[in-house]
């Protein structure tokens, strides 16, 4: 069975919780005791109907305030696929959460209310999805029941959205008219919208091709940990453990090690005693080489003629994620990239990107919570990076505040030739 990771986005009241509740409910992933708890709470709150949205509101603080404050993960499965939903709230102030959810997603579902059409927040969600390079986007025109399942109403929203999406980098876009509340086009094709010829949401989720979401061309293997058993049975064993972050590594392949530039040959790929012939993303394996090289955590295995850029300067899009602080030129942080950790200083804040109209504000001198900008960073030691558009693993990093230890920013490498 395959696994598909989804992220959801939508403004408050567009019907996101109702949709997730329905997907879980119709795929029989809601258990009776959960449903009972939700029914009880709905009654206590004086609601007339069972509020399926309560299923996804986790924490006490959220229940008290009636809002969703953070990313929550939900699981459901059909006979075809297992799904992980990163449920991220759509409020203006929560760009951070959507970026977090989208960072690991194969697909984002963006909801809009058919009555309101494409609003500022829908554009923002589409932009974030493209910034994070989520390979597939499904735009759901919800509450079709409230516009009499009218094709023209749907077309207008769909056209608006396509026009905006054309300015972005969205490799695969699908638009589906639904009613989360009534179930139209969620699990089954709706009889209320005979003019719609596409598949239902669930059918789409079950069948979309995700096999090529990973980079299978450029071999990238950041060394995570060196395994040296020092036991009699495995006296000379030395395995470089890590997760394949790009390409396919085969036994017999010639590899180059960064930063040393030395080359060797793969003589074994191990997984718990099993000898594999090849490994691809995102497998976690242990690689043995023909030569005894000095390799440690933070080094990168790649191919002699296809390797990431070794650089101390990065040009990147950065999302600031901490409340109450700002990032500006001269600030210093810890940078974590693949299995390397170093220190960095902000050399240049080139511009702040307005995510509503994609305007570049070059006068900005700092970025605050949920703001996105393009920065140049100088790093204390070389990192082995690819452009994020080529590889989401070797093109991404986080910034950490040294004093508090907090994760303060997410970054995506734009250009490797600075």
Ligand X SMILES: Nc1nc2c(ncn2[C@@H]2O[C@H](COP(=O)(O)OP(=O)(O)O)[C@@H](O)[C@H]2O)c(=O)[nH]1
d(CA 373, CA 282): 29
Binding to other proteins in span 108-167, by CB under 8 A: none
Quick count: other Cβ atoms within 10 Å of Cβ 363? Answer: 6
Give me the DSSP letters along 33-102: HHHHHHHHHHHHTT-SS--GGGGG--SHHHHHHTS--S-EEEEEE-SSEEEEEEE----GGGHHHHHHHH
Would you say 160 or 278 has its CB closer to other proteins? 278
Choosing from 43, 45, 66, 75, the residue that interacts with other proteins (CB under 8 A) is 75
Choosing from 6, 153, 314, 410, the residue that interacts with other proteins (CB under 8 A) is 410
Choosing from 151, 270, 313, 354, the residue that interacts with other proteins (CB under 8 A) is 270
CA angle 101-58-324, nearest 5°?
A: 60
Binding to ligand X in span 139-178, by CB under 6 A: 142-143, 145-146
The whole-angstrom distance between residue 150's C-alpha and the CA centroid of its chain comes to 34
Give me the DSSP letters along 196-229: --S--HHHHHHH---TTSS--SS-BEE--EEE--
Choosing from 15, 247, 298, 373, the residue that interacts with ligand X (CB under 6 A) is 15
Rule CB under 8 A: say whether 282 interacts with other proteins.
yes
Rule CB under 6 A: say whether 181 interacts with ligand X.
yes
- 113: three-class secondary structure by DSSP: strand
Q: Please report how close the Cβ of residue 228 comes to other proteins at its closest, in angstroms.
A: 7
Q: Please report how close the Cβ of residue 172 comes to other proteins at its closest, in angstroms.
A: 16
CA 374, 378, 384, 385: dihedral to nearest 10 degrees?
10
Residue facing ligand X at closest CB distance: 15
Contact in structure between 204 and 174 (CB atoms under 8 Å): yes
Rule CB under 8 A: say whether 407 interacts with other proteins.
yes
Residue 378: C-alpha distances to residues 82, 320, 331 (Å): 41, 18, 11
Q: Please report how close the Cβ of residue 28 comes to other proteins at its closest, in angstroms.
A: 8
d(CA 221, CA 70): 32
Would you say 17 or 200 has its CB closer to ligand X? 17
CA angle 1-241-379, nearest 5°?
A: 110
Q: Report the sign of the C-alpha dihedral through residues 249, 251, 252, 256, in that order.
A: positive
Q: Please report how close the Cβ of residue 68 comes to ligand X at its closest, in angstroms.
A: 7
Closest CA to 178 of 128, 208, 140: 140
Q: Please report how close the Cβ of residue 65 comes to other proteins at its closest, in angstroms.
A: 11
Q: Please report how close the Cβ of residue 202 comes to ligand X at its closest, in angstroms.
A: 15
Rule CB under 8 A: say whether 342 interacts with other proteins.
no
Please choose, out of 137-145, 187-195, 280-288, 299-307, the segment that lies near other proteins by the rule CB under 8 A: 280-288
Rule CB under 8 A: say whether 290 interacts with other proteins.
no
Would you say 223 or 355 has its CB closer to other proteins? 223
Would you say 158 or 208 has its CB closer to other proteins? 208
Q: Please report how close the Cβ of residue 416 comes to other proteins at its closest, in angstroms.
A: 18
Would you say 191 or 357 has its CB closer to ligand X? 191
Binding site for ligand X (CB under 6 A): 10, 12-18, 53, 142-143, 145-146, 179-181
């Amino acid at each position: 069975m395959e696994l598909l990771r989804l992220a959801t986005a939508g403004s408050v009241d567009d019907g996101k919780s109702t949709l997730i509740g329905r997907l879980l409910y119709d795929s029989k992933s809601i258990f009776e005791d959960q449903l009972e708890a939700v029914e009880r709470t709905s009654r206590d709150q004086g609601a007339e109907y069972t509020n399926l949205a309560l299923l996804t509101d986790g924490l006490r603080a959220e229940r008290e305030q009636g809002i969703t404050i953070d990313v929550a993960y939900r699981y459901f499965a059909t006979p075809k696929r297992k799904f992980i939903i990163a449920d991220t709230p759509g409020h203006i102030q929560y760009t951070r959460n959507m970026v977090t959810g989208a960072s690991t997603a194969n697909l984002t579902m963006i909801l809009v209310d058919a009555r309101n059409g494409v609003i500022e927040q829908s554009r923002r969600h589409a932009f974030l999805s493209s910034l994070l390079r989520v390979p597939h986007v499904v735009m759901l025109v919800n509450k079709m029941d409230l516009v009499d399942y009218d094709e023209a109403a749907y077309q207008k929203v769909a056209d608006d959205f396509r026009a905006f999406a054309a300015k972005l980098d969205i490799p695969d876009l699908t638009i589906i008219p639904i009613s989360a509340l009534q179930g139209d086009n969620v699990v089954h094709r709706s009889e209320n919208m005979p003019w719609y010829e596409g598949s239902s949401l669930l059918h789409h989720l079950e069948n979309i091709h995700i096999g090529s979401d990973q980079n299978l061309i450029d071999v990238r293997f950041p060394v995570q940990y060196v395994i040296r058993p020092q036991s009699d049975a495995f006296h000379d064993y030395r395995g470089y453990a890590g997760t394949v972050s790009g390409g396919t590594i085969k036994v017999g392949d010639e590899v180059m090690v960064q930063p040393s530039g030395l080359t060797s040959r793969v003589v074994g790929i191990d997984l718990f005693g099993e000898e594999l012939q090849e490994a691809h993303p995102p497998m976690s394996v242990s690689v043995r080489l023909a030569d005894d090289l000095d390799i440690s955590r933070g080094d990168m295995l790649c191919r002699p003629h296809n390797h990431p850029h070794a650089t101390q300067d990065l040009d990147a899009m950065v999302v600031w994620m901490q409340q109450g602080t700002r990032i500006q030129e001269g600030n210093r942080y810890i940078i974590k990239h693949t299995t390397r950790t170093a220190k960095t200083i902000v050399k240049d804040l080139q511009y702040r990107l307005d995510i509503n109209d994609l305007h570049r504000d070059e006068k900005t001198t700092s970025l605050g919570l949920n703001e996105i900008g393009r920065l140049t960073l100088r790093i204390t030691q070389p990192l082995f990076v690819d452009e994020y558009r080529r590889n989401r693993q070797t093109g991404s990093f986080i910034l950490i505040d040294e004093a508090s230890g907090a994760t303060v920013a997410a970054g995506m490498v734009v250009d490797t030739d600075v």
